[in-house]
Each structure stands twice: as structure tokens, then as C-alpha cells.
Structure 1
Amino acid sequence: MITKQLFKPALLSLAVSSALCSGQVWSQQQDASEAENEDFEVIQVSGIRGSLIRAQAVKMDNSSIVEALSAEDIGKLPDSSIAESLARLPGLSGERVGGRTSGISVRGFKEDFTGTSLNGRELIGIGDNRGVEYDLYPAEIMTGATIYKTPDATLMVQGIGGTVDLQTVRPLAAQESLTLTGVFEQGGNDSDNPEFDNKGNRYALSFVEKFNDDTMGLALAIASTESPRNERKYGVWGYAENDDGQILPTGLDTQAISRELERDTISAIFQWRPTENLDIVVDALDIDYSDSGVIRGFIEPFAADNVEGTGVNNTGRQIGANPVLRTDPAQKDGELQTFGLNLTYYVNDDWTMEVDVADSQSSKRDLRGESYAGLARSGALSAGEFGTRQFTMSADGVFFTGSNGLGAFSDPSQLQLTGPQEWGGGMASLADMFDTNVAKANGEPYSYLNAQDGFLNYADFEEELTTAKVEFSGYVDWNIVNGVTFGARYSDRFKSKDNKGFFATASSYPLSEAIPAAYLYNGLADLTWAGLGQVVAYDGFAPYNDGEYQLNDAGLLEPDRLGDTFTVEEEVITLYAMADFATDISGFRVTGNIGAQYVQTDQSSTGYLGIVSDNLKVCDDNNDGQIDADCLIEDGDDYSHFLPSLNVSIELAENRYLRFAANKTISRARIDQMKASGFVKFDQNIELIATPNSEAAVREYGSPWSKNTGNPTLRPLEANNFDISFENYFEDEGYISVALFYKDLVNWTRDGNQLIDFTNDSTNDGANYFIPGFHDRVLDEAGNYGPLDTPYEAGELLTPPDQGFYSFFEDGLEGEVKGAELTAQVPLRMFADVLDGFGIAASATLIDAELEDGTGIPGQSDETYSVTAYYEMNGFEFRVAATDRSEYLTYQRGGSNKIEAATRDAVTQVDAQISYDFENSGIKYLEGLRISLQGTNLTDEKEETINDDGIVTLRREFGPSYLLNFNYSFY
């Protein structure tokens, strides 16, 4: 059951707005009482108009090219996370993960290549890599965000794409308040799984209080969320042509997915100003995060006959249907904690010293069980006992129109809790454990190939980041230089991944039994949308929890799993200095800054090279369940970078600016690519084993051998960046801007590939990986095998080729990114008084990116568009927002918990909100109330991946969501 809780803070004080709008270091010296007495008439408008004014002020006053969100943007929208708010900004694109916006690309660079900070401190997530999952952070705890598209030398967290700095409140600069929020959510799609529904809720409480003559302040926000997600997934293993040249899937993967997000967040900030010269801020953030549910449906090979039509216009019959009913319970649990201390000492009227220390820790377990059910254990039925299905096929994929012999999937008494397919090949080293005299339908005894009835798959992640910074800043009068900032920063980062898994075998092996009644849910799962009818729903964790499954550690059976277990450590020291300047040239006011960072890095990684030993176990020659010492790998590197930066702003006329920026930035290589680990793998496909033993044959047809490793010596991705922007601010809430940017990618990580001899590996001290009796094959029957259809007799020994490909990561790839951003924010009252309150905010980002090897940049869409139409007057507000991005490359969690590339099709998302603020209603007891109704994904946009033949290979349908928000400020 799913509930959703969302907290929205009250309207922020004018002092907070002032702090948001100030991009200058010197603004920290401004006393809170002075800030509260400033004339902020320009930004006192509430609602979306107020938020646009605030954001425009940040953009206008900053020396860098930036975008911004104000507290009004975040607080007034009942978004479940900061990600949904950021995705609407110019030059930013959101990426949905499981139906929710989680990733953010800045100028086409995925979050792993974008720096993310909280109040200027580097922020960590709970994912596989460096990128922050923005949906981890509730919008309720934030007061603003600034996105730096061009850096300056004092920006400690940078990336090639840019930097996203999230901001929380400073109590002494905020208005005292007490706010309660409740949000009720309903998904537009009903749950197809009986144990879940489509309803959720969010609740939040926040307050800001000042004490001791306003020298102490405390801000506390508590937010709790329960949110449903119901998804319909259609997928295939791939497509291939049959003998008649018709394109058909090789296997099907169709599932009804239901999940429940639970997130509890506490943000606490204490600020103390014991003297006029000292400001102390202590802050803490704690997030508990859980995303659990079930993935239930069919997965099976596909064979067809009697196919009519050509290409994708097919009708036909699937034969030999022996579906596996997969019930995969999923549980992702994470926790993130961050603590920080900031001391600002005002040495005198001109100079300030700042000391900032912080520690962040996160942990996550991403667990997915697999429990199989079907007509019978693999091998128990003869071919004539399998079922058939009728289907139609179009560019949208396969839809089933009828079936024969498969009605049992709605009747639990006819289903067996067992593995219907021979998927137990990974347990070859445990063959003796599964020896039996019980015969299959063909008279042969059951073996380990028939013994996989499920799989428990999980990965544990740990990360810690400790940072310390000392900075001095001051006013000077050195000709055109009016301010200097210099300092040093130290960071120590540790990240680990432990990739684990267990093969599961039911206690009934080699026989099978019906699904126990105690496991069953009251109701069936609905797969009629795929033509697959109603199917049995049961608790997939139950056979693991009660000991029904016997478990065998896959870490010592699958080399790629051990080869994805690792630690990565980094120590970074940054020295930096920046000078601010201002002067007049030919009557134009010119301001900006020039500076540089010197960055020294020491990085290392520890991992394992997963290799199958002679006993058919992975790195376990001694059969003691311990990893052999000679499989351990340690490596690393140290290096330095010099990163100059220049930002120039020319005021061409009143409120018209021409900005120029030039800088060098780095984004550190992906964590999963920096791992020391790797593996040697062998594909048991007999057609590959029969490949001729020659380099030419392997290059043309492939090899059963493969080797894959990370590279702990990878250098950061590096770019030289040039930006120019024209900005015309013609109204308090109106401006247009045109920005051009160019990124010269001088170092990007490339995929290396090398042909090696797997009987004498020159990259591993001449190691010989060949094991007789395991890597060769005695033929059971005569026939033509291999890519050349070579004839063989029964009993002949097939020996694989010696050579295969070694894949790794290396530095040296180059490329370029050229782009343009056009932004317009227009209040329509400019054209007619009757349109007062109406407005449009729109942006377009056009990018032409090219890497020299033809590969794409993760997160890069060629075109991204965003438009928001709004109306606000007398407390009533209405807005519709649409974002559109073209196809882009990304990566996702794949088989055995490893990262794999994926291509997402173009997506358009439409959201809308209507609200009323009772502040000026004249009803005393309702003056603190604001009510809003919001809908997201109103057009029911699907997430699709389409192959080169124009056929859908993966489709995910999430449906819209509707949220009713109540926000009450007591004062």
C-alpha cells in the first residue's frame, strides 16, 4: 500500500530572498537585521511571479552564467523531490528512473559529469557512481538552488556540465515561521498487483525560530513520504530474422511492476552569532530511503511458426511455450547522513575568514529476489506437453490474442514452485551436489542445469566523504581589482561495492511441488494489457525467508560478480585564488573575476580478478570459500591539474549585459570504471565454441572468451570551455537571453579493446585460463556447428579458439560540444493591461556533440525544450509546464548488478497546477492556508527504446499522478 507525504515550507522571508539573490562573497558580512530592513519591494510578489523575480535577480547579479530556483519555486510546487523542480530550468533535462525524475543533465551532461553541492559542500548520493540521485532530496527542505554553467575559482565542486548548488535556510536571515503540510497522492493507473494500490501521502513540519535577542536561530524540517509507482513493462531479449526473413523476438520479458517509495528526512540547522564578528552554523541532514515492491510477469524464449506477413506486420503462433512466471520482490534501502560546521569570522570591515568542515556518509542495499514458477521443472515435460499462443506483431511489439495449454497460470493448484527453464549452468562447479537417479522426460537424469529455481541478487554500497576548507576574502583597492579570495580545501572520499548473489534451489528438487497456500495473495495479477491474462500472485520473498530455497553463493561461481566488487579511494587537495575586478572601458561598465585552482589528486582502488579455477569455482583453489590471495588487485595513481577561469560581464546599457567566460573544468571518471576489479568469462554457447582457432575467425565471428577490467589510473575527464551570453532584463519578471557555449573535450574515457590469447594472457603474466572438460565440449550428436557450419560427428571434442577480446577503459578520447540556449521570460501585461497576471517562461537548448570514435555522451539530447504558461492574481494561480527532450544515451543497472548502456527515446512531460492562497482572502483563520492540485505526466508519456528496425525493444508505462496539497503557516 502506498502513501505520499510532501512538505512545503511557508513563504520565505525577504532576508532569505536577499541571501539567495546575492552571489557575492561579501554578502556574508551583511548583518541579518540590516538585511531585514532593506527595501525588497521588487521581489515581494508571491507565487510563481515572485519566484521568477527572485530567480531573475540571482541570474542578473551573478558574475557567472547561472540559472536559479528560489524558495518560491520549490516551496509552492508540491514536487516530491528537488529533481522535478530542477528539470524545468533552461539547459537542464530530467531523466526518469522508475517513473520519477531522478537524474539531471546540465547542458547535456549526465549527473555523473555535473558537480552537486549543498550550501557549497560536495554532496554524495547512494547510487553506483558519483552522480547524485536528486529524487533522494525532498523539495521541502530546500530554500533555493543555483546552477552554475560557468565556474569561478572559488567554486569547490565543479563538473564539465556545470554545478548544481542546493541551498537550505539560514535561520538568522529568515522570518520566523511554523508550517504544516499534507499532500495526498493518487496514481492515474491502478496497480496490476493485488498487494499494492495507487494511493500515497506526504506530511511535513517545519519551523524557524530565533532566540537570545536574535543571536541564535534554529531551523528544523521533518518530512515523510510514501509514494506509489505502478508500471507496465514490455521488453524483449532482442529481435532476429527467421528462415523466411521475418523479424521476430528471440525472447520475451513482460512484467507488471508495483513499488512503494518511503522517505523520511530530518534537516536541522543551528546558527549562533555570539559577537558581531563571528557567525557559527551547524547543520545536519538525515535521510532514510526505501523503494520496495514486486516485479511480476513472464520471461521466456520465443519460437514461432505459421507466421503471416512480412517485417513487423506479423500474425502467427508461438510454439513450445514454456513460460517462467517470475516473481521478483525488490527492496532498495538507503541511508544518508551529513554533518557540517561553518565558522565565519569578520576580521575587520574588509577581511573575512571562513572555516568549513563536513562529513557525509551513505549506505545502500539494492536487493532483488527471483522466484520461478511454471508448468513443471525443466526436463519434466516433453515437447508435446508445452503450450501455444497466438500473437500479432507491429512496431509496438508483440501482443498475444489467445493461448492453448497455458490456462494453469491463473490457478495456483496447477502451478509448480520450480524453474521451468534450464538456467542452472552457473552451478557447474556444484554438479555433484545435484546428481540424482531421477530421470527427466527424455530418460536422462536431472542435473545442476535443472536446479535453478530462483536467484537472490543484491549489491551493498558504502560511501564516505570528509571535507575541510579554509578561505580568506577581502576588499582591496588595487587599480581595477576590488576584491580577492584565496584558500585551500581537502577532501577524502571512500566508496565500495560488494556484488553478491545466491542461486536458489527448491527443497523438492529434483521433483517439484505446488506453490504453498501460505505464500499466495488474495487476488491475481493482471497482465491482460499484454494479452497474457490473469496470473497467480504470491510472496516471492517467502521461500527465502522460510528456508524453502537452498542457497549457493554465486560470488564464488560467477566471475563477473566477484569482478564487480571493489573499493575506490581519493584524496584531493585544492589550492585556489581569485581576483574580482571592475572598471569602465569606453563608457561601458566591465566587471568579473579571474582566478585558478591547483588540484592535487591521489587515487587508488582494490578489487579482484574473477577467474574460474580448476575446481570450477571462482578464485577458490582451496575449496574453503575464501578468495585466493593471487586474485587480489591493487592499483592507483597521483597527478595534478591547473584549472584557470575567467568571467567577464559588460553592461551594454541599463540592465543589458554581455557575458563572456573561459575556463578549464574536470569531472572525475566514473567510479565503476575506476575499479581495480575485472573478470574472465566464458560463454558456453556451442556455436561460439566451434569458432575456428584463428585471429581472422575470432575478429569476424567472435569468441566464447572475454575479459573485462576497470582502470584505477584513469584521469579525470577534462574540457576547455568557452561561453558567451547576451541578457536583456526588461521587466522585474521579464528577460530574454541568448547563450552560446563550446566545450573542447581534451580527455574523455574510451572503451579499450584488445585481442589476447586466453591460454597465455600477456596482460596477466601469461596466465592460462583454459580448463579441460569445462571449456571444451564432447558432442552428444552429429551435426553442423559454428559460424561456418562445420560438420562434426557424435563424440568429437570441440575445443574453443585460444583468442578472445579484452575490454577495458583508457584515457585519450577527444571530442567537442557546441550548443545554444535561448530563454525568454515574458509577463503578458506588457502587451495589454487585461493580461496582467499572465506570463510565459520558455527555453530551448540545442546541442551538437561529437566524440572522435562516434560514441555518444551520456545524458546528451540534441534538443531540449521547456515552456511554462502561468496566471497569478489575488492568490489564485494556475500553471502548465511542458518539457521535451530528444533521444539520449544513458546507462542503467543490468545483469549481475553491473552497469550497462541504454538509449532512451524522446520524451515529453506535461505537468499542471492550480492553487489558491488565502493570505488576502479576508478570512482570518484561513490566512495561512494554501491549497493546490497538481498533475504530473498528464499525457501519460511512455519510456521507449526502439531498435534499428524501428521496433520497440523496451516500453515502460507509468501513467499520470495527481496530488492534492494543503499548506498551512501558523505564523
Structure 2
Amino acid sequence: MTHSDTFKPALIALSITAALHSGAVSAQETSEDAEVEVIQVSGIRGSLMRAQAVKMDNDSIVEAISAEDIGKLPDSSIAESLARLPGLSGERVGGRTSGISVRGFKEDFTGTSLNGRELIGIGDNRGVEYDLYPAEIMTGATIYKTSDASLIVQGIGGTVDLQTVRPLAAQETLTVTGVYELGGNDSDNPEFDNSGNRFALSFVEKFADDTVGLALAIASTESPRNERKYGVWGYGENDDGQILPFGLDTQAISRVLERDTISAILQWRPTDRLDIVFDALDIDYSDSGVIRGFIDPFAAANVSGSGVNSTGTQINANPVLRTDPAQKDGELQTFGLNIRYDVNDDWSVSLDVADSESSKRDLRGESYAGLARSGALTNDELGSRQFQMSADGIYFTDSSGLDAFSDPALLQLAGPQVWGGGMANIADQFATDVLQANGQPYSYFNAQDGFLNFADFEEELTTARFEAVGYVDWGIFNTLTAGVNYSDRSKAKDNKGFFATASSYPFSEAIPSQYLYNGLADLTWAGMGYVVAYDGFAPYNDGEYTLNDAGLLEPDRLGDSYTIDEEVTTLYAQLDFETEVQGFNVKGNVGAQYVQTDQSSTGFIGIVGDNFAVCDDDGNQVVDADCIITDGDDYSHFLPSLNVSVELNENRYLRFGASKTISRARIDQMKASGFVKFDQNIELIATPNTEAAVEAYGSPWSKFSGNPTLRPLEANNFDISFENYFDGEGYVSVALFYKDLVNWTRDGNQLIDFTNDVTNDGANYFIPGFHDRIIDVAGNYGPEDTPYEVGDLVTPPDQGFYSFFEDGLEGEMKGIELTANIPLRMLADALDGFGIAASATILDAELEDGTAIPGQSDNTYSITAYYEMKGFEFRVAATDRSEFLTYQRGGSNKIEAATRDAVTQVDAQISYDFADSGMEYLAGLRVSLQGVNLTDEKEETIDGNGIVTLRREFGPSYMLNLNYAFY
């Protein structure tokens, strides 16, 4: 077969640009300039051609994805499409691709915009959760790897610009989509299943002689996720050299994502010179479910084997069956108005204003059940488990004395472990004459039967941009772009929590029958059998639990509530140029931004007072005024940029970029808040009161604070790329880049005296009766096994560590990207329709203190093999990224670092478009079957000994998609 499509990249790029950008020329204007051949290529081949045209036509180094029409991206969210692009890596959150790293920089260090306008998310920081945006509302995306002065939304990693349709530049359509989703893993929790659905409607219509256009997209998603999580508190070596866990943390997790999205775009072009676009986006988001499983300390006996490979018995097993109901609800709304006016044939001005708001409540309850309330049983009455230990972790083969966990008549709704130490300042509430098995009265230590943990987030961003663009005749310079952009951002976090105590305290009772679900939860995959399943929210909702505000009991919770405010004014100017040098066509742009920033934060310093309450000296449940802190700073940056594109010969380009870019510091690092915390662990309290001991063993004291004066992260960037476009759907490219990181946020650490804190006007945090401990059981305590008798008073060391954030860390990143899109018909006519799109990104980065860059994988590979011909399409895509550092929500709703092991994901899709089938009544139908994570790739975290400390298994998922276009 002879390939007859004429390769006209400039004309293709012109029409693609018209479809993707709001300020582009109309289709009618395009036709006046040139007779553009219509290329009837659909599916993945058409998408690759359009994306290639965008890449070719841009003076910057970019990547692109493009749908053939609104609602026709092949993935369930834009995140999955982005993750396969060269230089980009996807990060799964809860089994779904959500985060995107660009050239090794996590989404918090990458600018994200929607049609050129800054976009906010509903997360803890600046990064956008890309899975929030359904594919049905998108027409594509452009990823800018080099910056220019007119690109307002920037980041050290680059800029991701998501794109929605402009109705007057799009084909009219009415398309409906229905998707049935099936998880490859059955639910281990009886109240959930593994099936979901997705529905969407996409509508584009033109009115009033094509002067008014309306685009409407509505999408609704219900998507299940069933996860098996294996975790431990860490591993240690016993006296015989055997490595065993300190504690267990294993759950069966079931969640359902519910997302409703409405995107509306109204475009009015009353004259050839005036274009007005109003757009609105509303996303309602819910991710609810349950985390159900065991958590308990680990002690062993009769262990045989060596190192990591052993067998034995877990003794004194007193597991906590935690039923953690989870509910995450969020909403994002954005409204924008863009007005463009062509003053004359050479000059145009535009005004863009927008307001975006988001809110989220991340709620997680904890409900504890077990053999009995803590303190009620002797060691002889506890259970045991037989285990096998290996590099894959621990697996239980049998158990005894733990039958209550499968029998709701025996299982007690109470906390089996002594976890109530945080309620020391309300100890009187739990005073009783009832005795524990050891003869001591029950106390607040025994009174925690659950915990209600939630954080509220609110964010608002208002932007206004005025820009003028005109043609000039200044030698090699032909276009001037100049403007001003103003943004006002506010983000707040309110970290809340409540200790829960059952009404049966100090006794315990069986779980009420009305709480129970039909059926048991399955933990047999971990060797833990079947366990009782009940509604963990029920004891909160019906008043069974008494709640006490943890915000006034836990200093780190109050110290994680804050508000951040930023006002940023950006002046920018850019000159585009085009000339000929030694017979080579050279074009590009040069420009600069001047960025003025005013930032501030209001928060709290959480400190326990003499009454054992946090910042509540008078006991009125109101935060003391002297715990409130406000701080901030103002500063400016000058950000030059240069992009040069040299056409070496026809369709071969050498591109060069140089720029200075910034990414503002993480929100959670800029907070004014902080806290002083004390660990009640007797082994730390008994640390000798010397600087050497504290540095060697640690301290029960710790202090932390954010830094509202942090400057943005800053980098000098240099890029060079060679791109060879040898076909309308084929090219190869090699890109080299270097980033000189001249400012990065450093983790500061200082040893201070907590009885005379020089960083807080000599404050003394020590409280007798709260920060010391009277020994009730004689023995050796502390890291040096110091002997103590009953009645001895143990006081903590005076010193501990103060952690904070500061500017000044430097580093560098070097990288290479290799990309090839190859239509295999170039090898043989029989292979027409077959093709391969592949890329490799190799990074070498180093920060001067040895820490890793969040989001950096040293190696990322992606390959897609496809066939598309006459409506039939098949594709298989595989992505592989090596180990990387990230961060996640940790204890008390705070952010903590985490390392993800290497991951390989394989997806596939087969589809048929009936447009050319000859069946008129089916001409608008497209049917596809898609599989995600087909190889059941697990997420694992492995410690320095090569042992798995965390494993998450999500299983594959399958989607049957029916897409019908009425016109």
C-alpha cells in the first residue's frame, strides 16, 4: 500500500493551534491563508500527528497530547495520558495515577495551568491532583519544558497547560459516553464491591451565523478501589541476629471515588476584531471507604533461622482491630473571562480575569476492637501466632486465642492497647476505683477507644492579566508581547482531631448488633483469617463515643493549622525574532519577567502549659493569644529567558533554551505554625542528661516550626534539543538539559535546651508531673539500660532537637531525553497502521546535603505499541520508573517523606470506531475495552536491609467504553 498523505507540518500546526488555543485564528481565517489538505486519520495515529504538529510549531521545547475531539482522550483522567509523555512520570495515589513529575520534579515544583490560567488543586500543597480532571472535558495538554517570558505559570520542572475546547474553533458535536469499570481484585470488605461506572456528555454547538459558540461537558464517575496493604513499624535485630518487625500494620482497604464535573464554555465573536470567552468549571469530589485490619506491637519466641529468614511464634498477641472509616470530600470551582480585541491589523490587547476556589475535608475515623480493654487481661490470656519471616515481610501460618476476631459476640468495642497518654491533662475525667489485672486502677492511658481525625482545607486564587501583542519591524524582531499579571492566593488548613472513649469505660462490651455488616472481612492473604466487619462511623454518630478535642491536647496538631497569603505581581515583555544565519532559518524569542511577591502566614505555636493543656492556660477552650503568630516577607525576582530554534534543513530543528525559573516553597513549609512535643516513651525519657547521649540516642523532646519568609526555589536552566520530523506521524528527538539549583529549601536541625530555649526567649517547657515518670515496675530503662527501682523518679534530658526550614541549599540536575515515534509502514507497506512511540529519560541530580529531589526517578521509560486502521485500534503501553522520593499524609494529618520503590505499569486498549463500517445507524459509535495495571504491579517500600516495610496491592482494572456521537 502506498501512503498518500501529504506531509505539510506548518499547515497542520496552524490548524491544530487554532483548535487548541483561545487566541488563535479561526478556521475561516486559516482557509484564507492556505488550502489545507484534510487528513482523515483518527484514533491514536491522529492524536500523535496533532501532538507532533504542536511540538514542531513551538519555539520552546514542548510535549503535547491531543484528542481528535472533546471527550475522546483514551484515559479516565488526564493524569494517565500525561504519564506516558517523554520526561514525565506518573505517581499512583491509592492505585490511580494522580501526581505527575516533570523532569524529576514533583507536581509541587511544576506550574499547572488551564488554557494558560493558573490552576489550583484540593491537596495539601501547590501541586494539582491531575486525576481530578476527567478526560471527557479535555482536548489536550501542552507541557513546556523550557520557559518564555509570556508563560506566566512556571515551575522549575516546567509547565503543564491543560486545554479545553474553544467552541468557535471546534467541530460541532453531541457525544455521550458510558463506561463500565470492573476491578481485578474482589473487595475484602463485605460492604463494598469491585464494580463502577462513568457517564459523560459532550456538546459543542454554534449559533448566530457562527458568532456564538457553546461547549458543555458533563462527566460523572463512580470508581472502586480495593487495596491490600502490608506494613510494619520497622524491623530490628534481636540478640540472636534474627530480624523481626517491631509492630504490625496490615489492612484491607476499600474505597469508592465519586466525581461529578461540569465544564461550560461560552464564546462570542460579535465582530472580526472582538472575541469574548467565558468559562466555568465545577468539580465535586468524594473518596470514601474503609481501612480495616490489625495493628499491634510484636514480640516473638521460639524463633529459628538466621537474618531475615526465620520462623517462630508471636507471643502476647493483643491485636487492635482498627476499623477506620474514611471520607474525603472536595469541591473546586473556577470562573474566568477572557476578552481579546484586535486594535488594528497589527496590534491586539487582551484581558483575562478569573477566580478559583477549592475546599476539602479529609476525614478518617478510628474505631478499636479487640479481646478486651487494655489492662483487663494477663499475658496468659492473650493470643499467639505462628509466623514465617523473609525479605517479603512476615506471614502468619496459624494462631491461637484469637477466635474473638471472627465472632462478633466475643469481640469487644474497646482499645486493647495503652494508647491514651495524650489525654494526660484530662486525667481526672477517667479516674476510677476499678482495677486492672495488675491491681492498678484504670486511668486515661486505658481510655482511648478510637480517634476522629480530620483536616479542612480551603484555597482561593484570584488572577487578572492584561496583555498587548503587536507586530513590529525592529530588524530581526517581528512581534512584541508585553503585559502585567496579578494573582492573590490564600490557603488555609485546620487540623482537627478528637480522642474517643466508649461508654463502657472502664469496662468493655461486645459490638452492638446494629453496627455489624453481613459477612466478614478477608485478611487470609496475610495469614490473619476472617475478621468482624462493622460500621466504624456508627459509634461516633449515635453518641456511643465521648469525644475530647485533641487540638488542645496534642501540640503538633495545633501547630499544623495555618493560613498562607500571597500577592504576586508580574511584569513581562518578550520579543519574537526570525532571521537567516548562514542559510539557516533561525527564530525564537527573548524576554524577561519582573516578579514582585508579598507573602505572609498566620498560625499557632503549640506548647503544653502547666495545666497540661495546649495553649489554653485559663481552660476556656480558646487558644491563648501568645500562641498566635504572624510573619512574612516581600521580595522580587528578575527572570530572563531565551529560546532559539534553528531549522537545519527541512523538518529538522535544533532548539536551545536558557532561562531562570522559580517554584514557590511548599505551602506546609511556609506556615508560621510550629510546636514543642514530648514523647512519653519511658525508654526515651530515661536517656542520660548529656549532649552526647541525646546525639547518640535521641530525646523525648522535639520542636518544629515552619518558615513564612522562605524564598522560592530557584534554578538556572539550559536546554538543547535536536528534533527530526521525517513523517507526518514520525519523528526522533534527543534533548539534553541542565538545571543549576541556586536555592532549594533545606531541613534545618539545631540542638537546644528545652528548659531554656534560646530560640524562644529562654522558655522553659519542662512541667513536673507531666514530663517526668515514677517507676511502677523495677527494671532497666533507657538506651543504656539504667536500673531503676519502684518509686524512682525519672527525669528527661534537658536537650533535644529543633527542626525548621531555611533557604540556601544548592544542587544540580542533568538529564537526557530520547524520544521516537515510528510508523512501521516505513519498513514495509504490510505494516501500515502499526507504530511505536517510545521514550527514555535519564537523570543525574544531587543536592549538596545528599537529599533527593521529590519526584526524581533516575530512569523513566515508556513505550506504546499500536495498530490503527479503518476504525480498528489496538495499543499496549508500558511505563517504568525507578525508585523516587515523595511525601504523603502521615500521623496527625501532617506531611511526611516516603520513598517509593521502582514500578512498572502495563495498560492496553482495543477499540473499534464504526464511522467507516458502512452501517449508517452505527456511524457515530466507538467501542473500546481498556485494561490498567495488567501485570498487577505492587507498590513497595524497602528498607536498607532489603526487606519490604510497606506493600500496596491494587490489582488491575478493566473498563468497557461506549462512545456515541450523534453528529
Rounded to whole Å, the distance in 2 between the matches of 1:418 and 1:274 is 69
Moved more, 671-680 or 74-83: 74-83
In structure 1, the partner of 2:316 is 320
Q: Distance in 2 between matches of 1:747 and 1:629?
A: 35
In the alignment, is residue 368 of structure 1 matched against residue 389 of structure 2? Answer: no
Counterpart check, 1:301 vs 2:314:
no
Give the alignment partner of residue 604 of structure 1, picking from 596, 600, 624: 600
CA distance in 1 between counterparts of 2:143 and 2:204 reads 26
For 1:78 and 1:881, the matched residues in 2 are separated by 12
Q: In the alignment, what sits opposite 1:525?
A: 521
Where do residues 100-499 of structure 1 align in structure 2 (5 Å cutoff)? 100-499=96-495
- Cα offsets for 1:648-703 (capped at 9, x unmatched): 00010100000000000000000000000000001111121122222222112211
The amino acid across from 1:546 in the alignment is: D
The answer to whether residue 893 in structure 2 is matched with residue 897 in structure 1 is yes
* Counterpart pick for 1:48 among 24, 44, 47: 44
Relative to structure 1, the CA distance from residue 612 to residue 874 in structure 2 (aligned partners, 3 Å threshold; closer, same or farther) is same
1:764 equivalent among 760, 765, 773: 760
Aligned to 1:716: 712
* CA contact 1:346–1:352 (8 Å) conserved in 2: yes
User: AA paired with 1:343?
Assistant: I
Q: How does 1:575-586 map to 2 (within 5 A)?
A: 575-586=571-582
Native 8 Å contact 2:738 2:812 kept in 1 = yes
Q: Aligned letter for 2:28?
A: S
Cα distance in structure 2, aligned partners of 1:612 and 1:621: 9
- Mapped to 2, the partners of 1:571 and 1:877 lie a distance apart of 49
Q: Which amino acid aligns with 2:930?
A: Q
For residues 319-373 of structure 1, give each alpha carbon's deviation from its aligned partner in whole angstroms, at most 9, with x where no partner exists: 0000110000000000000000000000000001000000000000000000001
Secondary structure, aligned partner of 1:922: coil
Contact 1:16 1:173 in 2 (8 A): no
Identity of matched residues, %: 82
Q: In the alignment, what sits opposite 1:968? A: 964
Deviation (angstroms), 1:765: 1.1
Maintained 8 Å contact 1:888/1:905: yes
In the other structure, the counterpart of 2:6 is none
Specify the SS of the correspondent of 1:560: helix
Look up the match of 2:25: 30
Give the corresponding residue for 1:827.
Answer: 823
Q: How many Å apart are 1:77 and its aligned residue?
A: 4.4
| Distance across 2 between alignment mates of 1:517 and 1:426 | 31
Give per-residue Cα distances to partners, 1:420-454, cap 9 Å, x unaligned. 00110010011000001111111111100000000
2:67 and 2:73 in contact (8 A); partners too: no
Residue by residue over 1:219-272, the C-alpha shift from the partner in whole angstroms, topping out at 9 and shown as x without a partner, is 000000000000000000110111211100000001000000000000000000
| One-letter amino acid of the structure 1 residue matched with residue 111 of structure 2 | G
Indicate if the aligned counterparts of 1:563 and 1:610 stay in contact, CA closer than 8 A: yes
The alpha carbon displacement at 1:121 in A equals: 0.4
Q: Which runs of 5+ in 2 are unaligned?
A: 1-9
Residue equivalent to 1:746? 742
- Work out whether 1:839 is the aligned partner of 2:835: yes
Task: Trace 1:618-637 onto structure 2 (pairs within 5 A).
Answer: 618-637=614-633
Describe the superposition over 1:447-500 as per-residue Cα deviations: whole angstroms up to 9, x where unpaired: 000000000000000000000000000111110001010000000000000000
Q: Which residue does 2:696 correspond to in 1?
A: 700
The answer as to whether partners of 1:752 and 1:809 remain within 8 angstroms in 2 is yes
Map of 1:11 onto structure 2: none
- Shift in CA distance, 171/910, structure 1 to aligned 2, threshold 3 Å: same
Distance 1:803 1:946 in 2: 32
Q: Report the alpha carbon displacement of residue 43 of structure 1 after superposing the two structures with TM.
A: 4.5
Contact 1:29 1:346 in 2 (8 A): no
Contact 1:22–1:62, Cα closer than 8 Å, also in 2: no
Q: Determine if the alignment matches structure 1 residue 547 to structure 2 residue 509.
A: no
How far 1:18 sits from its partner (Å)?
A: 4.9
Q: What's the CA shift for 1:40? A: 4.2
Check whether the contact 1:17–1:70 (CA below 8 A) recurs between aligned residues: no
Report the 3-state secondary structure (helix = DSSP H, G, I; strand = E; otherwise coil) of the residue aligned with 1:561: helix
Give how far 1:791 is off: 2.6
The change in CA–CA distance for 1:833 and 1:393 in structure 2 (over 3 A counts) is same
CA offset digits 1:694-746 (Å, max 9, x no partner): 22221122111100000000000000000000000000000000000000000
Alignment partners' CA distance in 2, 1:458 and 1:16: 51
Match of 1:806 among 794, 802, 807: 802
CA RMSD of aligned residues (A): 1.4
Q: CA deviation at 1:141?
A: 0.3
Would the alpha carbon gap of residues 602 and 410 (structure 1) be closer, same or farther in structure 2, given more than 3 Å must change?
same
Unmatched 5+ residue regions in structure 1?
A: 1-13
Question: Counterpart of 1:6?
Answer: none
Q: In terms of mean alpha carbon deviation, does 780-789 or 444-453 score higher?
A: 780-789
Contact 1:16 1:170 in 2 (8 A): no
Separation in 1, partners of 2:824, 2:79: 28
SS of 1:33's partner is helix
Whether the 8 Å CA contact 2:12–2:50 is kept in 1: the answer is no
Code of the residue aligned with 1:798 in structure 2: it is: V
SS of residue matched to 2:915: helix
Equivalent pairs counted in the alignment come to 957
Deviations 1:100-120 (A, max 9, x none): 000000001000000000000
CA distance in 1, matches of 2:838, 2:145: 18
Equivalent position amino acid for 2:632 in 1: G
Give the counterpart letter for 2:26 in structure 1.
Answer: D
Q: CA deviation at 1:24?
A: 11
- Corresponding position of 2:5: none
Partners in 1 of 2:363 and 2:704 — Cα distance?
24
C-alpha offsets along residues 613-645 of structure 1, whole Å, 9 cap, x if unaligned? 000010000000000000001000000000000
1:535 paired residue number: 531
2:769 counterpart letter in structure 1: G
Q: Which amino acid aligns with 1:775?
A: H
Deviation (angstroms), 1:15: 12
1:794 to 790, 795, 798: 790
Residue 76 of structure 1, CA deviation? 3.8
1:571 aligns with 2:563: no
Q: What amino acid is the match of 2:114?
A: L
* Contact 2:20-2:164 within 8 A present in 1 as well: no
TM-score by length of 1: 0.97
> Are the equivalent residues in 2 in contact too, given 1:335–1:363 (CA < 8 A)?
yes
> Contact 2:20/2:166 (CA < 8 Å) preserved in 1?
no
Tell me if structure 2 keeps the 8 A contact 1:51–1:73: no
Within 1, Cα distance between the matches of 2:496 and 2:377? 33
Residues 576-628 of structure 1: CA deviation (Å, up to 9, x unaligned):
00000001000011000000000000000000000000000100000000000
2:90 to 88, 94, 100: 94
SS in 1 for 2:374: coil
- Residue pair 1:21, 1:55 contacting (<8 A) in 2 also: no
Cα distance in 1 for partners of 2:346, 2:137 equals 33
Secondary structure of 1:617 counterpart? coil
1:867 aligned to 2:850?
A: no
The whole-number CA distance in structure 1 between the counterparts of 2:267 and 2:733 is 38
SS at match of 1:41: coil
Letter in 1 for 2:293: G
CA contact (8 A) 1:596 1:642 kept: yes
AA aligned to 2:124 is: D
Which SS does the other structure have where 1:135 is aligned? Answer: helix
